[in-house]
Amino acid sequence: MRYRQLGTSGLEVSEISLGCWTLGGLNWVNGDPNGWADVDEAEVKKAVDFALDAGVNHFDNADVYGNGKAERMLARVLGDKAKKMVVATKVGWFPGTAAHAYEPAHIRHQCEQSLVNLRRETLDLYYFHHGDFGPNDQYLDDAVAVMRKLKQEGKIRLIGQSAYSAGDFTRLVPKVGPDVLQSWGHIMDDQFIREGSPVRKLLDERKMSFVAFSPLNQGVLLGKFDPKNPPQFEAGDHRLGDQRFTSEGLTKVQPKIEKLKSRFGGGIPDLARVALQYPLASPVVACVIPGFRNLRQVQVNLQAADEPLSAEDVDYIRAAFKD
Provide the pLDDT for residue 39: 93
User: What pLDDT score does 230 carry?
Assistant: 85
Question: CA-based Rg of the chain, rounded to a whole angstrom?
Answer: 19
How far is C-alpha 79 from the chain's CA centre? 22
Contact between residue 24 and residue 61 where contact means Cβ atoms under 8 Å apart: no
The answer to whether 162 and 120 are in contact (CB under 8 A) is no
- How far apart, in whole angstroms, are the C-alpha atoms of residue 59 and residue 82? 10
What is the rounded CA–CA span in Å between residue 253 and residue 273? 18
Q: Can you tell me the distance from the alpha carbon of 88 to that of 158, in angstroms, rounded to the nearest whole number?
A: 9
Beta-ladder partners of 32? 29
User: pLDDT tens digits for 16-49?
Assistant: 999 999 999 999 898 889 898 899 999 999 999 9
pLDDT at 146: 98
Sort strands 180-184 and 156-162 into parallel, antiparallel or unpaired: parallel
pTM above 0.85, yes or no: yes
Q: Determine the pLDDT at residue 270.
A: 96
| Cβ 183 vs Cβ 151: under 8 Å | no
Distance (Å, rounded) from C-alpha 143 to C-alpha 292?
31
Residue ranges of the chain with per-residue pLDDT less than 50: none
- How many other C-beta atoms are found inside a 10 Å radius of the C-beta of residue 188? 15
Give the pLDDT of residue 88.
98
The per-residue pLDDT for 227 is 87
d(CA 37, CA 293): 9
Q: In sequence order, what DSSP letters do the residues of 167-184 get, joined into one string?
A: HHHHHHHHHH--SEEEEE
* CB-count burial class (<10 Å; 0-12, 13-18, 19+) for 274: buried
